[in-house]
């Protein structure tokens, strides 16, 4: 039996919901891409989703967080922003960064604090746009 529907190829990641005192969401844009997305990334072998996020936040935006301080929000799926034909499945955590200031590092070219009202004119990855962009 054949089917016309092809199951999407999946990319598993960990992603952060980081908001500031004004309620804006932190988004990052990787070098060579156009879409802004939540900080995070793909796991290394044998890493838990929380360990992945702690490592990625340190590498990408210089934030030091403890995995025990992450608040699991669940698993969310959306079309992958930078890899056509793929679906991203993200273990998402709310992260309180205290008074730390994120700075672009590693492959991150730019970061922005946005709300739905201030995000017009920039490309937002489907995962962030559909689930986490504050009003």
How many CB atoms lie under 10 A from the CB of residue 69? 14
In this structure, the dihedral spanned by the alpha carbons of residues 52, 55, 56 and 62, taken in order and rounded to 10 degrees, is 160
pTM, two decimals, is: 0.91
Q: Are 110 and 59 in contact (CB under 8 A)?
A: no
Q: Among 69, 59, 65, which Cα is nearest to 105's?
A: 59
Give per-residue pLDDT as tens, 22-65: 999 999 999 999 999 999 999 999 999 999 999 999 999 999 99
34 vs 31: CA distance, rounded Å: 8
Give per-residue pLDDT as tens, 85-97: 999 999 999 999 9
Q: Are 95 and 70 in contact (CB under 8 A)?
A: yes
């Amino acid at each position: 039996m054949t089917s016309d529907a092809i199951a999407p190829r999946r990319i598993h990641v960990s992603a952060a919901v980081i908001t500031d005192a004004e309620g804006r969401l932190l988004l990052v844009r990787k070098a060579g891409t156009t879409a802004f997305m939540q900080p995070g990334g793909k796991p290394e072998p044998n890493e838990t989703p929380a360990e992945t996020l702690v490592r990625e936040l340190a590498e990408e935006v210089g934030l030091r967080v403890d995995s025990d301080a992450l608040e699991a929000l669940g698993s969310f799926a959306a079309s992958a922003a930078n890899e056509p034909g793929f679906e991203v499945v993200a273990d998402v955590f709310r992260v309180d960064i205290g008074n730390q200031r994120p700075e672009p590092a590693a492959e991150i070219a730019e970061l922005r604090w946005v709300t739905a009202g201030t995000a017009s004119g920039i490309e937002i990855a489907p995962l962030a746009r559909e689930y986490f962009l504050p009003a």
